Chain A
Amino acid sequence: DSGVTQTPKHLITATGQRVTLRCSPRSGDLSVYWYQQSLDQGLQFLIQYYNGEERAKGNILERFSAQQFPDLHSELNLSSLELGDSALYFCASSVDPLGEARAFFGQGTRLTVV
């Protein structure tokens, strides 16, 4: 157990819908990263938050957005879902993006868009 918690584990929804994925970082970690992993693909960086502020943005679609709350949990919002959005979505956390670099991953949310 990495200490990073993601909910839900599985999500099935229809095209055009909107979903919210939730991530609770390890205790003491201030930084949260979101990654997308499509079937048999690598890990694509979406976005990073540090202590409530957006820190870096990767290949995140405009239909996707994220935020980090004062209690440091983060949510990834996916809207106007398309079949191609089906993937595993992972979050990872680390202590401090400018200090300790070790990142630990949650168990992921498997999103299926039908």
Chain B
Amino acid sequence: GENVEQHPSTLSVQEGDSAVIKCTYSDSASNYFPWYKQELGKRPQLIIDIRSNVGEKKDQRIAVTLNKTAKHFSLHITETQPEDSAVYFCAASIKAAGNKLTFGGGTRVLVKP
């Protein structure tokens, strides 16, 4: 089945700097790649997603890039703020397999003021 690896597991950045989280997936049939933000004890919240027919997507300070050939995708957060501190999860899914999400292990991001 699908396997998603996520790096780094922890990331500490200074407020205002950029943060980059990288994920790789194993199944070339994967066609949907969402990113979720989870604050302590809360639900994972969808923050951005990208489909396999798109190489890049941006929404204000966050952007996601997808390299289908290399089977990796990345989350970029610019001008980080303390409220960006959370655990971020990448995921991948395959439409033909019912779209169940396979998650990476998560990245704990700490933005230092």
Which chain B positions have C-beta within 8 A of A94? Answer: 99
B99 → A minimal CB distance (Å): 4
How many A-B contacts at CB < 8 Å in the complex? 66
**Chain A residues within 8 Å of chain B by Cβ, number:** 27
Which residues of B are interface residues toward A (Cβ below 8 A)? 31-32, 34, 36, 41-46, 49, 51, 89, 93, 95-106
Q: Can you list 19 A-B pairs with a CB-CB distance of less than 8 A?
A: A31-B99, A43-B89, A43-B103, A45-B101, A45-B102, A45-B103, A56-B97, A88-B41, A90-B44, A92-B101, A97-B98, A97-B100, A98-B95, A101-B95, A101-B99, A103-B34, A103-B101, A105-B43, A105-B45
**Could you tell me if A98 and B43 are in contact, using CB atoms closer than 8 angstroms?**
no
Given A90-B43, A105-B45: A42 in contact with B95 (beta carbons within 8 A): no
Task: Tell me which of B31, B99, B103 contacts A42 (CB under 8 A).
Answer: B103
Instruction: Answer whether residue A25 sits at the interface, using C-beta atoms and an 8 A cutoff.
Output: no
Given A42-B103, A56-B100: A106 in contact with B43 (beta carbons within 8 A): yes
**Could you tell me if A33 and B101 are in contact, using CB atoms closer than 8 angstroms?**
yes
Task: Tell me which of B31, B32, B98 contacts A55 (CB under 8 A).
Answer: B98
Instruction: Answer whether residue A16 sits at the interface, using C-beta atoms and an 8 A cutoff.
Output: no
State which residues 42-67 of A face B: CB under 8 Å.
42-45, 48, 50, 55-56, 58
Instruction: Answer whether residue A68 sits at the interface, using C-beta atoms and an 8 A cutoff.
Output: no
**20 more CB-based (< 8 A) A-B contacts, given A33-B101, A43-B89, A98-B96:** A2-B43, A31-B99, A44-B103, A50-B98, A55-B100, A56-B100, A90-B43, A97-B99, A97-B100, A98-B95, A101-B32, A101-B49, A101-B51, A101-B93, A103-B101, A105-B36, A105-B44, A105-B45, A107-B42, A108-B43
